Structure 1
Amino acid sequence: MRALLVDHCAPSGLCLGETADPEPAPNQALIRVAATSLNFGEVSHAVSQAPDNAVLGWDAAGVVERAATDGSGPAAGTPVLTLGESGGWAEFRAVDTGMLGIAPVGTDLGALSTLPVAGTSALRALRRIGSLSGKRVLITGSTGGVGRYAVQLAHLGDAHVIASTGEPDAHGNDLRALGADEVIPGPEHTGALVDAVVDCVGGPQLVQAFEKLAPHGTLIAVGDVTLQPVHFPPGAFLGNDGRHGRSITTFHLQDGPLPGPDLTWLADRIAASDLTPQISWRGDWNQADEAIAALMARRLHGKAVLDITP
């Protein structure tokens, strides 16, 4: 089969080539991949750390080519979206049936490919907050893949959504269309305290966001794109001003139940137009170098999708 293979001599670190087809285990379905979406973390870090000829890729959507032989999972011909640690950048992917979601027939597979990491991260981070209704929820890095889904899902949960972005004038209308009630240039501009934070940035913004937490508020640290040290000032964790019980919790996407049901639920929201994938770049996987360059240069606000052509 064809795949995007790690090639450290290539400008992007990847090249199209041939590799062996995957051999599914009994609890795995074989998926014919139609589209994959790129994540900043995998193209900025995973590629550089992988050996030549490895097949990476966390997100992929396609159709079941061969059902799992143990009887679990969907039948051949079913459209699915899949999550895994590798294997998404190829014509075929072997996937544990608990790591795939079933999609309504006719749903755009490119749109579905944006959900596994970004959509599921946003959904599971917001669940840490509990009921969202009426709560003030701050989302940092709101123009990224996770951030945009977090804005939409928090809005669907009836939260008061505050979207933080470094370019509010450029992205304010777009974020409000997704469900943001306020768009601000940074956590320090929230005004009133917030009940929860989904932080997709890390570094100094994490500290600033924590300072804006109301009593018993929670900050979920989802991402760290700055790779800058986090320095809290003296007294930051004291509750002498009455703000007792504030907390910071770390996050890992696969901490908890297998994501299959979440992926199915998210696919249904895409099919019903309750969520929009916010694809900012889409093209054939022959153009992967172009997409990766745009992603690495921070020129994309949203998701980059590669269509996997036979």
Structure 2
Amino acid sequence: MRALLVDRSAPGRLRLGTAPDPEPAPHQALVRVAATSLNYGEAAFGLDSAPDGTVLGWDAAGVVERAAADGSGPAVGTPVVTLMPAGAWAELRAVDTGLIGVAPAGADLAALATVPVAGLTALRALHRVGPLLGRTVLVTAATGGVGRYAVQLARAAGAYVIASTGAPEKNRELLERLGAHEVVGAPGASRPVDGVIELVGGPQLVEAYETLGEGGTLVAAGHIAGKGEDFPFGALFGDQQRHDRSLVTFFLLGCTGLGRDLGWLAHRVAAGELDPGITWRGSWDDAAQAVEALLAGRLHGKAVLTFDA
């Protein structure tokens, strides 16, 4: 099969080549990939650590070519959105049926390819905050792939949404269209909030934690700053005004029920209820260009690669 292979001697550390077809385990379906979306983590860390010849990629949408031998999962010909630790940057991938979401017939598979990491991370992070109706939620790095989904999902769940961005005036119209009630500069809110979806890390996470009110929860779900978090002495003390605050993390692939969530998100995107936030779209021949733009911080939203038949 054709695939994008790690090659540190090539532009963008990727080259188009061939790799053996994957052989699915009994609980896996074989999916013909139509599109994949890029994520900062796989580009920033995967390309540095994976051996040459590796096929990376977490997110892919496509069509089931061979159903799972154990009878689980969707039938041949079903459009699906998929998540796995690797293998999305190729024509074929083997996918655990628990990590497959069934998509509506006729949906734009390129748009659905944005769902797995970005959509699931936003959804599961908001779950960690708790019930959202009538609560105030701050989303940092709100113009990124995860941030855009988080703003939309929080608004749909009944939260008052504050979107934080490094360029609030430039991005105000976009974020308000996605559902933000307020658009502010980093680190965020000027008053206590009930929840923070924190997507930057480093010093901004420390500052965002200080915006939590009593009983509030900060979910650390992104680390693009590439820096550690140094809390000043006393920052984690409880006091009468802001006690019982929480800082939590989660591992996406360690969560259960992801196939169900993938399908739910895919249907929302296909119906036009969620904007997938695609800001770069091209063929897999242009993968190196997309990776370089992503790592340079020139992409806000999702980059999608479509695969030729």
Q: How would you bin the TM-score normalised by the shorter chain? A: over 0.9
Deviation track 1:141-169 (CA, whole Å, cap 9, x = no partner) reads: 11111111000100110100000000111
The size of the alignment, in residue pairs, is: 309
1:99 counterpart residue number? 99
Shift of 1:241: 4.5
Shift of 1:125: 0.5
Scaled by the length of structure 2, what TM-score is found? 0.98
Distance of 1:241 and 1:8 partners within structure 2: 54
Distance of 2:144 and 2:4 partners within structure 1: 24
Q: Does 1:43 align with 2:43?
A: yes
1:198 counterpart residue number? 197
Q: Which amino acid aligns with 1:219?
A: L
2:6 counterpart residue number? 6
Shift of 1:255: 2.7
2:66 counterpart residue number? 66
Distance of 1:277 and 1:32 partners within structure 2: 21
In structure 1, the gaps of 5 or more residues are none
Shift of 1:240: 2.7
Deviation track 1:114-159 (CA, whole Å, cap 9, x = no partner) reads: 0000000000000011110111100111111111100010011010
Distance of 1:229 and 1:46 partners within structure 2: 20
Question: Which secondary structure does the structure 2 equivalent of 1:125 belong to?
Answer: helix
Deviation track 1:10-35 (CA, whole Å, cap 9, x = no partner) reads: 12111000111000111111100000
Distance of 2:223 and 2:26 partners within structure 1: 37
Question: Which secondary structure does the structure 2 equivalent of 1:245 belong to?
Answer: coil
2:18 counterpart residue number? 18
Question: Which secondary structure does the structure 2 equivalent of 1:147 belong to?
Answer: helix
Q: Which amino acid aligns with 1:235?
A: G
1:108 counterpart residue number? 108
Distance of 1:256 and 1:41 partners within structure 2: 18
2:266 counterpart residue number? 267
Scaled by the length of structure 1, what TM-score is found? 0.98
Q: Does 1:172 align with 2:172?
A: yes
Question: Which secondary structure does the structure 1 equivalent of 2:304 belong to?
Answer: strand
Identity among equivalent pairs (%): 59
In structure 2, the gaps of 5 or more residues are none
Tell whether the 8 Å contact from 1:64 to 1:79 is kept in structure 2 after alignment.
yes
Q: CA RMSD in A?
A: 0.9
Tell whether the 8 Å contact from 1:222 to 1:252 is kept in structure 2 after alignment.
no
Distance of 1:269 and 1:203 partners within structure 2: 33
Q: Does 1:238 align with 2:237?
A: yes
Distance of 2:252 and 2:34 partners within structure 1: 23
Runs of 4+ in 1 over 4 A off after TM superposition: none
Question: Which secondary structure does the structure 1 equivalent of 2:123 belong to?
Answer: helix
Shift of 1:229: 2.3
2:185 counterpart residue number? 185
Shift of 1:178: 0.3
Distance of 2:232 and 2:26 partners within structure 1: 53
